[in-house]
Amino acid sequence: MENKNDGNNNFDCKKYLCKCKAKCCGPVPFAKKLYEDNKLKIVRPFIEIIEVEGFDLPNDNPTTMIIAMTVDGYCIFLGKDKRCNIYDERPWICRNYGLIPKLRCPYQKEDGSPRAREQRCQMIKKKRGKG
């Protein structure tokens, strides 16, 4: 996985991949157009495609969104080497993961410094609904 976001050189996912296993790359909702334009870049088989009416961030434009479910829960565009196969076109949520309060990474802070183990455990528990 390259950095999840642009323009912040200290936020470096490569340093944490052996621990985080790119678990943040789950079934992200894609605008249908982005999904259709990049179908040939799908690298993980999906078991179900869910189509919902939603909003494309960050502009909140109403649009049809696609959620693709895989057996292992990873994103359909995540390669075996944990690299994003649509890196240059990845959605806003992926570009901003780790950089804004609503999308905090449990492993590194916004400036790329590591989170304390206790804080990381709390965040992971909360995400799993156990915190």
- Choices 45-53, 63-71, 94-102, 115-123; region in contact with ligand SF4 by CB under 6 A: 94-102
Which residues, 6+ apart, have CB-to-CB distance to 103 below 8 Å?
93, 96, 97
Interface residue with ligand SF4, options 46, 90, 112, 126 (CB under 6 A):
90
Cis status of the peptide bond prior to 29, with omega within 30 of 0: no
Instruction: Check if the beta carbon of residue 8 is closer than 8 Å to that of residue 39.
Output: no
Beta carbon nearer to ligand SF4, 16 or 31 = 16
- Determine, following the binding rule CB under 6 A, whether residue 99 of this chain makes contact with ligand SF4: no
To ligand SF4, the closest distance from the beta carbon of 27 in angstroms equals 8
H helix runs in 1-131, sequence order: 17-20, 32-37, 92-96, 117-127
Q: Which positions lie near ligand SF4, rule CB under 6 A?
A: 1, 4, 13, 16, 20, 22-25, 28, 75, 77-78, 84, 86, 90, 94, 97-98, 105, 107-108
